[in-house]
Structure 1
Amino acid sequence: MMMSSLIAEYLDFRIPPYVLRPQADITVPAPARNNVITTITGVRRCGKTYAMYQLMDRLLKSGVPRSHLFHFSFDDERIMPFEDHTLANLLDEYYRMVPDAVNGCYLLFDEIQEAPYWTNFVRRVAEQHNVTIVLTGSSSKLLSSDIPTNFRGRSLSREMWPLSFAEYCAFQNVTSDGVAGAYSPATRRGLQNALGSYLDVGGFPAVQHMVTLDRMRLLQGYADEIVIKDVLERFNTASLRTAARFSRTALRSTGLKFSVNAQVKSIRGTGTPISADKLYALLDDFEDAHLLFKVRDFTLSLKENPKSSCKVYSVDPGLSLAVAPASHLDIGQRLETAVFVELKRRYGENRDNVISTYSAANCPEVDFVIGDIANGEPYQLIQVAVSAGLGDSSDAGGQSGKKYRSEVGNLAAAMGNTGLRTGTLIVLNDALDGPRRIAVDSGVITAVPAWQWMLGEGSEADAD
């Protein structure tokens, strides 16, 4: 196909219908020379391209002419094979077809990393042309860790994640309107049920309305695609068979301590030679691809020992469930995973706020501590529980009472150790109407329903 015909097709492209996503609400400057380059990164299939569509729609509604929005996807096979000057020729042809675009236009490029010399091209155009550049791409070649080097401090990276719980409710037409602490009983029940479904389905947009078997198959395909295209093609760390097996085991271990040395023994037991260094490197590669994340103990994280023990968390609870054997992944793991990913949404782009776990001699474990790694200062303590015995005070001496004492006791001990006067207990199943304050010797713990915390509510200020 002639390049002019291809460009004309993209300029005529109509933005498809989409569900408005708050985390995809991206603001960019008006076209100018030396503009900051905006990059949208994240796990495959999480909605990066639709974030670009949402931006385009807003710009059109603000009065930007459609011809000045040049969106192009470089995984379009009709532009292949790439030559050294494909990018320059494409832009020159666009300017020829839309002459006044040289005075200011928006260049919105998907998968630009497929083309040769793309970083040089983007840097030159940003410096010399009146443009606003927005890039999306797979994690294999457009990693947030690579971008500062490629663009010499002239870029702003935005991380995209699978659907948040609030976005999931929008996709599923679940009513989430209400004032904190003032939801009707019917709304509360609907949101509680929706959270249970969210922990099964997860947040990848394409699977939202699929039947269970189809959803599971597609998510399994996502996991394999990420390993092949975003890990092995980039890093070539291990064989496909080893990488696929290791990734499945790690995803099934979401929310749990993960031992690389145990995996070395398991893989060697199949007759496959592998070293611990190879698997540690592979685990790092999975994290670069946004497939899963390592979370270390807060005190250990300050020492930055890459081979110390750690917990792992999947990028999505539904993805982990899809690759796990039947009944293997319990709801507690999926709830903790959903909370972790929500914390990454809230704090992941602030590098001063590191998500860790906490443990001490008098505190077996608190699930999450948010703190400044540079200064060793913890800011928040968060414990996650399927049930903590808060909804039925009559069972204070039974199993739920023991669970209550364990969850609250761990938080209280961690608060005393760290000097923090507050802690948060996120609970899935207890019959809580809203946030509840629990006084302890070291301060105040706020117990909050999981669905309400996932909607961004349930801080200490919301508690009665």
Structure 2
Amino acid sequence: MDFDLPKPKQHNLIYSIVGVRRCGKTFFLYQLMDRLMREGVPRDRIFHFTLDDERVMPFSERTLSDLLDAYYKLVPEAVEGCYLFLDEIQEAPCWTNFVRRISEQRKVTIVLTGSSSKLLSKDIPTHLRGRSLSKEIWPLGFDEYCDFRGVVHEGVESLTAEAAGRLEVAFFEYLQVGGFPAVQNMLPLDRVQLLQGYAAEIVTKDVLERFETTSIRVAERFARNALRSTGLKFSVNNQLKDIRAAGMSASNEKLYALLDDLEDAHLVFRVNDYTLSIKENPRSSSKVYSVDPGLALAVAPASHLDVGQRLETAVFVELKRRFGADRTNVIATYSAVDCPEVDFIVGDVALGDQHQLLQVAVRTGAEAGLGLSPDRLPKKYKSEIGNLETAMKRSGLDTGAVITLSEEAEFPVSSGTVRLVPAWKWFLGR
């Protein structure tokens, strides 16, 4: 992640690290502190404190001020400039007033994290509106997964066939394991159990305790169905019927609010159809995506092994890493009367990003020696290429990509060029 901290001074922006539970926010703070020290910042100019430490509880309104005063007494030179890393900031009362005051009056660079039902990912920038810059942390991307597993991925274009084969295998494993750091070296059954616990913890602590949106049974069933629907259209109306059929009470309003809460907690995300309209329609038809393909697999039925859904989920999360932000339609699906759906159209033209059209398919049929002309592909694959070709015509783009598990090719269509790219290569930025 590109995250350059400014040198300490008055009126610096306040930086916040946000993301789903257990994705590594605290460890990222350690990495930032380590980088500062390697760049020559003295260790005693870096103050790190985790505010869920029971030794400083119960908190008073002066606890944060007393902690900082004690630090300045121990390191008087820090008054001339220091870095403050405050983890689990939500535990302290009046923390917003403290952080604003210190940023205005002291020569500091402040980095915050927060989680739990008391403070969700969007709360820190909301409380510090106009004064903060937030950075999202995600479970491990494929490049980080390779680093974690010791899989060589540098110089992708010049890799041997054997090395490329290892990356292809590693990517397929990534779709099963996912990117949560703690599960990487666990046995499959233990991994599934822990990931199921993550999902349950997010529902109970980050949603129900905070918002009391609905009952625990309704929330757990709804969240589980959303995770199982990753990469698919998700109808709140259908979920309402399912919940009522199971003998539970719910309403459309509560379920839409619950979906908002799950998204605030970074558990699932909605992707709407691409539109040029400036009006938002939060209840329009949308697809949902899990924050992690491994998490989606963990909550799925044992008989459900849809690699395509997990591949599309992994692509979505990678797009979130690359494009980030909360601007509407940076990541969207593309559909029209003569084009049922292209999985993603991405880009922010206001920021100079040209739009890209991306289709996701485990296979396209090209590897079967059927030729690279769309009209020679099997019927079940024609729609993938045909929809992409139509979307290229309608959008004025002359290129489109199909992300596959292993196929690689490039061929002309009536509106330009379609490229088939192996997922492992696309994820590594090639």
Q: Same fold (TM over 0.5)?
A: yes
- 1:390 and 1:404 in contact (8 A); partners too: no
Q: For 1:293-308, what aligned pairs fall within 5 Å after superposition?
A: 293-299=269-275, 303-308=279-284
| 2:173 counterpart (176, 197, 203) | 197
Deviation at 1:300, TM superposition (A): 8.6
| Deviation per residue, 1:30-52 (Å, 9 max, x gap) | 11111111111011111111111
Counterpart contact for 1:41–1:139, Cα < 8 Å: no
How far 1:302 moved relative to its partner? 5.2
- Report matched runs for 1:232-311 at 5 Å: 232-299=208-275, 303-311=279-287
Aligned counterpart for 2:358 among listed residues 379, 382, 392: 382
Secondary structure of the equivalent of 2:165?
A: helix
Matched, 1:454 2:430: no
8 Å Cα contact 1:219/1:322 also seen in 2: yes
How far does the alpha carbon of each residue in 1:86-122 deviate from its partner, in whole angstroms, 9 at most, with x for none? 1111111111222221121111011011111111110
Q: In structure 1, the residue corresponding to 2:205 is in which secondary structure?
A: helix
AA matched with 2:388: L
Matches of 1:148 and 1:215, distance apart in 2: 33
Per the TM alignment, residue 363 of structure 1 is displaced from its structure 2 partner at its CA by 1.2
2:131 matches 1:154: yes
Superposed CA RMSD in Å reads 2.2
Per mean C-alpha deviation after superposition, the further-off stretch among 362-371 and 113-122 is: 362-371
Structure 1 residues 359, 398: CA separation in 2 closer, same or farther (over 3 Å shift)? closer
CA apart distance, 1:400: 5.8
Instruction: Identify if the C-alpha distance between structure 1 residues 255 and 52 changes in structure 2 by more than 3 Å, giving closer, same or farther.
Output: same
Q: Following TM superposition, by how much is the alpha carbon of 1:130 offset from its aligned partner in structure 2, in angstroms?
A: 1.1
* One-letter amino acid of the counterpart of residue 290, structure 1: H
Distance 1:132 1:383 in 2: 42
| 2:11 paired residue among 14, 18, 34 | 34
Measured in 2, the distance between the counterparts of 1:395 and 1:373 equals: 35
Query: Which residue type is aligned with residue 21 of structure 2?
Result: R
Does 1:355 find its partner at 2:346? Answer: no
Of the three residues 287, 297, 309, the one matched with 1:321 is 297
**What SS does the aligned partner of 1:299 have?**
coil
Deviation at 1:247, TM superposition (A): 0.6
> Shift in Å at residue 153 of structure 1?
1.2
Spell out, residue by residue over 1:44-97, the C-alpha distance to the aligned partner (whole angstroms, 9 max, x if none). Answer: 111111111011111111222212211111111222111121111111111122
Matched, 1:85 2:62: yes
Contact 1:42 1:159 (C-alpha < 8 Å) held by counterparts: yes
* Equivalence for 1:12: none
User: What's the TM-score once normalised by structure 2's chain length?
Assistant: 0.94
Summarize the Cα distance change of 1:61–1:292 in structure 2 as closer, same or farther, 3 Å threshold: same
Name which of 300, 310, 334 aligns with 1:334: 310
Shift, 1:272, TM fit: 1.6
Selected match of 1:58 from 35, 51, 54: 35
Q: What TM-score, normalized by structure 1, do the two folds share? A: 0.88
What displacement does 1:271 show?
2.1
Pairs within 5 Å for 1:94-243: 94-138=71-115, 140-143=117-120, 145-180=122-157, 182-243=158-219
- Aligned-pair distance for 1:421? 1.1
Q: Which amino acid aligns with 1:318?
A: G
Distance 1:331 1:149 in 2: 37
Residues 302 and 373, structure 1, Cα contact 8 Å, conserved in 2: no
1:39–1:252 distance in 2 versus 1, CA, 3 Å? same
Q: What SS does the corresponding residue of 2:247 show, helix, strand or coil?
A: coil
Give the CA deviation at 1:244.
Answer: 1.2
Q: Which runs of 5+ in 2 are unaligned?
A: none
Which residue identity is paired with 1:271? G
Pick one of 344, 348, 365 that aligns with 2:341. Answer: 365
> CA 1:289–1:75 in structure 2 vs 1: closer, same or farther (change >3 Å)?
same
Q: Do 2:240 and 2:251's aligned partners in 1 also have CA atoms closer than 8 Å?
A: yes
Alignment partner, residue 428 of structure 1? 405
Count, aligned residues: 428
2: distance between equivalents of 1:139 and 1:423?
Answer: 41
Is this contact kept in 2: 1:255–1:333, CA < 8 A?
A: yes
Cα pair distance change 1:350/1:238, threshold 3 Å: closer
How far apart, in 2, do the equivalents of 1:123 and 1:399 lie?
64
Which whole-Å CA distance do the structure 2 matches of 1:252 and 1:347 have between them?
25
Task: Pick which of 264-273 and 247-256 moved more.
Answer: 264-273
State the one-letter code of the partner of 2:63. Answer: T
| Aligned counterpart in structure 1 of residue 24 of structure 2, from 44, 47, 51 | 47
Cα separation, 2, equivalents of 1:317 and 1:179: 24
CA shift in 2, pair 1:178/1:171, >3 Å: same
Distance 2:93 2:36 in 1: 29
How many Å apart are 1:226 and its aligned residue? Answer: 1.1
- In structure 2, the CA distance between the partners of 1:237 and 1:378, relative to structure 1 (3 Å rule), is farther
Amino acid at match of 2:416: G
Bigger shift: residues 94-103 or 390-399: 390-399
1:445 is displaced (CA, Å) by 1.1
For 1:217 and 1:352, locate their aligned partners in 2 and report how far apart those are by CA, in whole Å. 35
Q: Say which is worse superposed, 56-65 or 164-173, in terms of deviation.
A: 56-65
What amino acid does structure 2 have at the position aligned with 1:321? L
**Corresponding position of 2:414:** 441
Report the alpha carbon displacement of residue 441 of structure 1 after superposing the two structures with TM: 0.7
Q: Deviations over 1:105-159 (max 9, x none)?
A: 1110110111111111100001001111111111645545444442241211111
CA separation in 2, counterparts of 1:400 and 1:50? 47
How far does residue 327 in structure 1 lie from its aligned partner after superposition? 2.4
